Amino acid sequence: MNTLRKYVLSAFVATVLSLILANVTAQAYCPEVDDQPEYTCYYDGEDECFCYYTCYCHVGQDQCDLALFRNGYSKVPLETE
């Protein structure tokens, strides 16, 4: 019976540790500045899954939008009051 308890406790601890590790590694990595020839983006904040930036284009809007999309950015409309 002691052996069964040890296995159950070991499995429980392994499960908890793997969930903690998965939660820590799922955090977004957000560099402060992303400077590209087409645009420059400055870090604004983050939540559990996303990084938020304010971006400025150095080229035409269509070319800038394509470069941003190609590098994984999505446009989020600004909230207005």
pTM value? 0.59
Contact by Cβ (8 Å): 30, 43: yes
Is residue 51 one of the residues assigned to a domain?
yes
Residue that the structure tokens 């392994």 belong to: 14
pLDDT one-digit tens code per residue, 28-78: 688 899 999 999 999 998 888 888 999 999 999 999 999 999 999 988 777
Is residue 21 one of the residues assigned to a domain?
yes
Confidence of residue 2 (pLDDT cuts 50, 70, 90): confident
User: 6: domain range?
Assistant: 2-70
Is residue 76 one of the residues assigned to a domain?
no
Region label for 47, one of left (φ > 0), alpha (ψ between -120 and 50) or beta (otherwise): beta
Is residue 16 one of the residues assigned to a domain?
yes
Strands (E), 1-38: 33-35
pLDDT one-digit tens code per residue, 3-13: 877 666 676 56
